[in-house]
Structures are given as structure tokens and as C-alpha cells.
Chain A
Amino acid sequence: MTMTFRTIGVCGAGGTMGAGIAIVAARAGFRTISYDVEERSLERSAGQSAAFFDKSVQRGKMSAEERDAVLGRMERTTAIEDLAACDLVIEAVYEDLSVKQALLGRLDAICPPETVFASNTSTLSITEIASGCARPGKVVGMHFCLPAQLMKLIEMSPGLLTSPETFQAAWEWTKACGQIPVETQDKPGFILNALLVPFNNDAIRAVEAGVAEPGDIDKALKSALGYKMGPLELIDLIGLDTQIRLCEAFYPVTLDPRSAAPPLLRRMVAAGILGRKSGRGFYAYDGATMFGA
């Protein structure tokens, strides 16, 4: 039987990723229920969504009427029971296996049996997340890229028990939203982070080994390969502490030495050098000067 999704729930919609996913769903014409535990964070996301669509109108990407219609499709709630109306619930909550498993367990008790659950995890196993509920056949990986409302790519992963019908329905839904899905196996980091996390670590190790200054490493990769951003600039942007968290999610699973957090990264985080958000990472952000890590 073909599954049709009409109403979409987004868990963790008070966060940046969840808010972006809600925009994607509502913009594509779906009734969208944004859920989070804090009303304040939902209000903030709603304000940001309205501002995003205002800008879309200013730039001629949609009419004022279309904007009003999209915003009219966006609801918000702090009552998880309201997600009982959803055909598809996408979770974008904190990247922790036990948190996601517990959420799916609660949703399992609330939603009708036909409701599909999707996880936006970037590092965890879909199969393990699905084991938190009694419907693993209806759980699928759906990893959006930040910022979700602008980035077209979605990594789609079936867990070991995901039914082909569930995967196909979720796949078609992403296309109906104007996104571009790619299929990956349920393995750590899927495609993007499986390649990126070790590569970024290698760049940190090159700094630590004295191969070159951070600025020359980034310049080399941008000039030679046409990358828009060097790996050290990227780590500064995502946060050095986040890079450690990614390493700690990957290394115990893969035992790939390239995924292990480099010692320099740990020392920098211990010193409060976290990247752009702390004003200093591999570069200093109070000026153009480089930090000679």
C-alpha cells in the first residue's frame, strides 16, 4: 500500500536544524507541527521562520500570499501528544542515542501504527535509534544539512529492519519537498561525515606536526582543489568542541585512527579555544591574524 504523508511533525523544532526542517516541510505544502519542550525556543524559531519567509518575499522567491499560506501551515506545540496527528515525524533532538531512543519510544505510544519516524542523526546508527521503539520497520534515516532550509542534500539511510515501503515513501517525500536525496547504508557518518571528520582531523594533525601554518594549509586546499573553505576554517566554524564530539561518536565504533580526536584538538578545547564562537581557534577573530597553533 502506498503511504502518503500529509501532516509532518518535527521534534526539536526549537533548534536550528529542527526549525530549518519545519520550513522545508511547510514550504512544500505540508501541514507542519513543530514540537519542542520549551515554548520560548519554539517562539524564537517561529520568529526566525517568519523572517526567513519575509526575506523570500523581498527577494521575489514567493508572493506575500504564499508566505501567509506557508506560515498558516506551521503550528507549534510543547505537548508531544499533538504529534498523534502526524503521518511522518522527523526528530532533530540532541545527538545522543539514549535521548533519541527514548523519544521514539514515547512517539511509539502516541502515534498511530502507520506513522513513520525519521531521524536527522548525523553520526548515530539508524538501527540502534529504531530499537527504541516497537516499529523499527517504520524508522528511516533522513540527515539534512545545515542550514536545512537552504541546503538541498539529504542523506537517506534504511536501518537493518526498515521496510522498503517506508524507505520509498520517505524518499519520495523528500523529493516532493524539492530536496535531493542520496541513499547510504546505515554506517557511522553516512557519506558526508565519514569522509569529512577524518579529513578535518588530518588537517589538525598536519598543524600539530608542523607541516605548515593553518593559513597555508587552507590556502593550499582552496587554491588546488577549489574548496570554498579550508578544513581549519571549517573546524573553526563548526566549533572545535563539536569536532571532538564527532570524533567521540565515530572512533569507538570504527576504531579508525583517523577518526580519533587529535591531541592538539583536545588541548585547544581544554584551553577554551573553541573556534569562531570563542573568538579564537586556528585563527584569531579579533583581526586577521593567525593563531600559530
Chain B
Amino acid sequence: MSDYAILKTGESRSFPGGDPFLTGAREPKDAAVLVHLGTAVAADPAKAAILVELGTESLAFHTGEESDEAFANVVGFARYRNGDDPPSKLVELVRRPWTSEAAVAAARGVLEGAGLEVVVCTDQPGRIIDRLVRPKYNAALRLLDEGLATQADMDLTCRLGLGYPDGPVERVLRGGLTHHYDVTQALFETSGAPAYAPPRQAVTAHRRSRR
């Protein structure tokens, strides 16, 4: 039997309503692993691991920057999702330098036990996926503006030339330009790297959404 409990408020991006992971949970007092979906994290050294769902913020937002033994069992996580597409199977586990190996192993066990695929990364802007794909989407949108090729040809080139299931422009548009703005703006603020600066199309979509 799965040994985790869920503390939840509001809708989770990783586990939206109806996700089987939500129904497999136990009572918090009985579970070895706690999963926070939008709820505030409190230290509980008795737990094997405490998972905290992350958006664009870092794990340190929840635990503080300084090494703290009380939070050694706290592990961040995000299940990758392209905008409002259904969540993928991939979960990025996020650790701080002082996160214990045992906590990472316990977190991995719960998530893999639920049929998800797990990778581990450090607490840096964009984790793995957004760190790597957002600059590429930005470049694709800029090149589109500059007339390098049509959107259809750019996407077709990536599908045929690289074997991608979809091209970068169609993917970022499907995920939503306002979502892309939210992610890239957060990355730009935390990293300062120009490659993350939201592109014109995303800025426009963001501004229109606020009219």
C-alpha cells in the first residue's frame, strides 16, 4: 500500500482533480511521506520525506536559504506540464545541498510507485525542463518575428530533422503564451539571463490578458 498523505489547498498543477495519485493517499498521521499541494510546509522530522509542490519558485522559498537540519527531509517537486496540457509522467525532484539522500529516496519511491518517472535536480531557476526549453521557445518566437521561416516550416523542420513529436512554436502556442510569459518572466527575474526574457508575443499576450 502507498505510504503517503496529501495536504492540499486549491487546484494542483501536478495532480489536478481526478488524478489517481490523489485517491491513493492515506491519513497524514499514518503516512511516512507527506505531500504538500499548495499548503504551508512545517518541519516534521518524523516523516521519511516531505514533498512540496513547486511552481516557478525555488525550494528555498519554502525552507529558507540556510542549512537547517529540520528541513533535511523536505524535497521539492514539479510534474512537468505544458500549459494546460495534461500533466506528463515526468516529475522533477528538487533538492537543497542539505537534503538527505534518504528523503530523496523516499520521495522517489512514492512517485515511482504511482507510475511516474523521476529525475533529480538542484534548486536552480527553471529546474531542468524550463531551464532548457524556454530559451529555445524564445529563440523560435524571435526568429519567427524576424521572418526566418514560416511557423509551419519551423515546426516541420524540427519534427522531420530532429524527430520531435511537435515543433517549438506549435508547442509553446498550445501551452499558452501567457503561461510562457509567467514562466519566462520568473526565470528572467531570478537568473537575470537575457535568454529568458519573455519574447514579444508572450509580453503582448500577457498585456492583453490584463486589459
B31 within 8 A of A: no
Q: Please tell me if the beta carbons of B132 and A153 are within 8 angstroms of each other in the complex.
A: no
- Interchain nearest-CB distance for B138 vs A (Å): 10
A210 within 8 A of B: yes
Which residues on A sit within 8 Å (CB–CB) of B131? 202, 206, 211
Q: Given that A184-B149, A220-B92, A223-B117 are contacting pairs, would A195 and B129 also be in contact in the complex, using a CB cutoff of 8 Å?
A: no
Which residues on A sit within 8 Å (CB–CB) of B149? 182-185, 191
Q: How far is the CA of A223 from the CA of B149 in the complex (A)?
A: 28
A192 within 8 A of B: yes
Q: Interface residues of B toward A: which range?
A: 35 or more
Q: Please tell me if the beta carbons of A194 and B143 are within 8 angstroms of each other in the complex.
A: yes
* Interchain residue pairs with CB less than 8 A apart (10): A192-B162, A206-B132, A212-B128, A213-B120, A216-B119, A223-B90, A223-B117, A227-B163, A228-B163, A258-B139
- Interchain nearest-CB distance for B77 vs A (Å): 13
Question: Which residues of A pack against B, CB within 8 Å?
Answer: 145, 151-153, 155, 180, 182-185, 187, 190-192, 194-196, 198-199, 202-203, 206, 209-213, 216-217, 219-221, 223-229, 231, 257-258
Q: How far is the CA of A196 from the CA of B133 in the complex (A)?
A: 11
What are the 3 tightest A-B residue pairs by CB atom distance, in nearest-first order?
A216-B119, A182-B153, A153-B160
Which residues on A sit within 8 Å (CB–CB) of B47? none
Q: Please tell me if the beta carbons of B195 and A258 are within 8 angstroms of each other in the complex.
A: yes
Q: How far is the CA of A226 from the CA of B165 in the complex (A)?
A: 6
Q: A191-B154, A258-B139 are in contact. List 6 more A-B contacts (CB 8 A).
A: A180-B156, A195-B158, A212-B128, A216-B120, A223-B80, A224-B88
Which residues on B sit within 8 Å (CB–CB) of A187? 148
Q: Given that A212-B119, A225-B164 are contacting pairs, would A192 and B132 also be in contact in the complex, using a CB cutoff of 8 Å?
A: no
